[in-house]
Amino acid sequence: MSSDDLDTVAALHDPVRRAVYDYVASRGCEVGRNEAAEAVGVQRTLAAFHLDKLVEAGLLEAGFKRLTDRTGPGSGRPSKVYRRAPGEWQVSVPARDYRTLARTLAEVVDLLGGDEQAERVARRAGAGLAGPGEDLGEVLRRRGYEPYEEEGRLRLRNCPFHLLAEEHPLLVCSVNLALCQGLLAGLGEEAVAARLDPRPGECCVAFSKEDL
C-alpha cells in the first residue's frame, strides 16, 4: 500500500462527495454537473466543487462535451463532463499485498495448466459467498460487481479482478464465471444462470433467466 492510495481513498470520506462519486460510477458514462447535482440533491456549485475535487484526487476524469443535440452558433459552449477514472486503489492497514500474491499464483496456475481445477475451486468458493435466499443483486453489489439491469439481464459494470483479468484473461474470466455460478448455487437460485457475455469495459459475466 502506498500512502498515495490512502490519500486518494480518503478523498471519498465526505458523504456528499462519496454520493457524487457513486452516482458518476453508477452511470458508466459521462455525466454533467447539473445531472450530478440533481441526482445527489445538492446545489450545482457544490456538486461542481466535489466533482473537481474527485478529479484532483484521480478518482474521476474530466472532459468537455456538448450535452444537447444542437450544434452551430447559439448552441452554447460544451459542458464539463465527468466519468470514473480507470485506475484502482487498494488500502489495507497494516500493509498486505494480496495483489502480488494473486498475480504470482495466477501465473503458476497458467504454467501448470490448472484452469479446470481453478474453476472447480472457484465454484465451491462462490457457493460459500452467499446464503440461501439472499438477494443476488445485493450480494453482487457487496462484492464490488456494480450490477445494473439491462433488457432483462443483470449486467456487471465492474470487474473486481480487473488487474488480474488484464494479465490472465482466460484464467481469470473462467474463474470469475465459475465463482458467479457457485454464488447462484449458494443462493439456491435455480431460475437464473450466469453466462459469459463480455463487452468492452465491463465484467465478462451477465445473469439472465435460465431459459433465455
Partner 1 sequence: MHLAQLNIAHMRAPKDSPELADFVAALDPINRLSDEAPGFVWRLKGGDAPQDTVEHDYGDHLLINFSVWESRDTLWDFTYRSAHLGVLQRRREWFLRMAEPYSVMWWIPRDHVPTLAEGMERLELLKAEGPTPRAFTFKDFYDSSEAAWRPAAAEVRK
Residues in contact with partner 1 by CB under 8 A are: 113, 115, 167, 169-170, 173-174, 196, 198-202, 204
Of 113 and 133, nearer to partner 1 (C-beta) is 113
User: To the nearest whole angstrom, how small is the minimum distance from the Cβ of residue 163 to partner 1?
Assistant: 13
Q: DSSP string spanning 56-71?
A: HTTSEEEEEE--SS--
User: To the nearest whole angstrom, how small is the minimum distance from the Cβ of residue 113 to partner 1?
Assistant: 6
- Compute the distance between CA of residue 108 and CA of residue 112 in angstroms, rounded to an integer: 6
User: To the nearest whole angstrom, how small is the minimum distance from the Cβ of residue 192 to partner 1?
Assistant: 19
User: To the nearest whole angstrom, how small is the minimum distance from the Cβ of residue 160 to partner 1?
Assistant: 16
Q: Is the peptide bond before 160 cis (omega within 30 degrees of 0)?
A: no
Of 108 and 170, nearer to partner 1 (C-beta) is 170
Residue 79 in 3-state DSSP?
strand
Task: Region of 133 please: left (phi>0), alpha (psi -120 to 50) or beta.
Answer: left
Of 1 and 102, nearer to partner 1 (C-beta) is 102
User: To the nearest whole angstrom, how small is the minimum distance from the Cβ of residue 156 to partner 1?
Assistant: 13
H helical segments located in the chain: 3-10, 15-27, 33-40, 44-56, 98-112, 115-127, 136-142, 162-167, 169-187
- Compute the distance between CA of residue 197 and CA of residue 194 in angstroms, rounded to an integer: 9
Of 10 and 101, nearer to partner 1 (C-beta) is 101
- Compute the distance between CA of residue 28 and CA of residue 35 in angstroms, rounded to an integer: 14
Of 158 and 174, nearer to partner 1 (C-beta) is 174
